[in-house]
Structure 1
Amino acid sequence: MAAGGFCKLPNGTVVVALNLPSPTAPEGSVRFLVHAHNRARALTRLRNLGLRAVYLRGNAAPPTPDEVTAVLHHPDGLIWRTAPVAGVAAAPDLVQELWHPVRALLRRPAAQT
């Protein structure tokens, strides 16, 4: 089940956060963050990358302030990382996964010769 949300910034732009099924792991999910002029453009950016069935219904999981900061400081304005497993509290001494540019997720494996 995909969860997501958005927040509007003071300059009028939005940051959209979506949890989507992982394209590489059958049971995992990926959290995408997109910075755009409006929600429609944010979803269009994801659809243009091949994620065709992306919709934002409601605001159940808006981006946290740390996530907003991360996406605003990335030159592409489109980042991802593995979403934390729901219901499992992370140990305080574990470091969370860093954010990745979207091209790292969508990169195709090199052809084997």
Structure 2
Amino acid sequence: MPGGGFVKLPNGSVVVALVLPRPGGAGGPVRVLVHAANRARALTRLRNLGLRAVYLRGNSHPPTPDEVTAVLHHPDGLLWRGAPQDAEELWHPIRALLRGA
């Protein structure tokens, strides 16, 4: 399962993309996008939501420009959708993922 990556934005903040197992084990993995001030804070935001085993190792699968746009336009700055990505599936707020756990 690919790990993820990050993109540093011109204002200094970052967008981190990770592929994680779906909470509760039902279904396949999910791709999660997080917008934060830096990589450490992005991972802390996920850990604070209960996703404890979250690590970013390397930058092999950074977010695409479309993913960056999606997370920047979301008020929470946290989105997810199934992985591998289905072009038909829309991005969901993180609450929808955690509700099913």
What TM-score comes out, normalization by structure 2 length? Answer: 0.91
Q: Deviations over 1:56-76 (max 9, x none)?
A: 000010000000000000000
> Which of the pair has the greater relative contact order for Cα pairs under 8 Å at 6+ separation?
2
Q: Percent identity?
A: 76
- Structure 1 CA distance for aligned equivalents of residues 100 and 82 of structure 2: 18
Match of 2:94 in 1: 102
Once the two structures are overlaid, the 10-residue window that deviates more, 95-104 or 42-51, is 95-104
- Structure 2 CA distance for aligned equivalents of residues 108 and 17 of structure 1: 21
Shift of 1:23: 1.9
| Residue identity matched to 1:106 | L
- Structure 2 CA distance for aligned equivalents of residues 30 and 68 of structure 1: 16
Aligned residues: 101
Runs of 5+ consecutive residues of structure 2 not aligned to the other structure? none
Matched position secondary structure for 1:47: helix
Matched position secondary structure for 1:80: strand
| Structural RMSD (CA) | 1.9
Q: Deviations over 1:19-40 (max 9, x none)?
A: 0011245561100000000000
| Residue identity matched to 2:93 | P
| Residue identity matched to 2:92 | H
Query: Which protein shows a greater Rg?
Result: 1
Match of 1:74 in 2: 74
In the alignment, does 2:32 pair up with 1:32? yes
Matched position secondary structure for 2:51: coil
8 A contact 2:19–2:31 mirrored in 1: yes
8 A contact 2:80–2:93 mirrored in 1: yes
Shift of 1:107: 1.3
Shift of 1:11: 0.5
Match of 2:19 in 1: 19
Match of 1:47 in 2: 47
8 A contact 1:17–1:62 mirrored in 2: yes
Once the two structures are overlaid, the 10-residue window that deviates more, 19-28 or 36-45, is 19-28
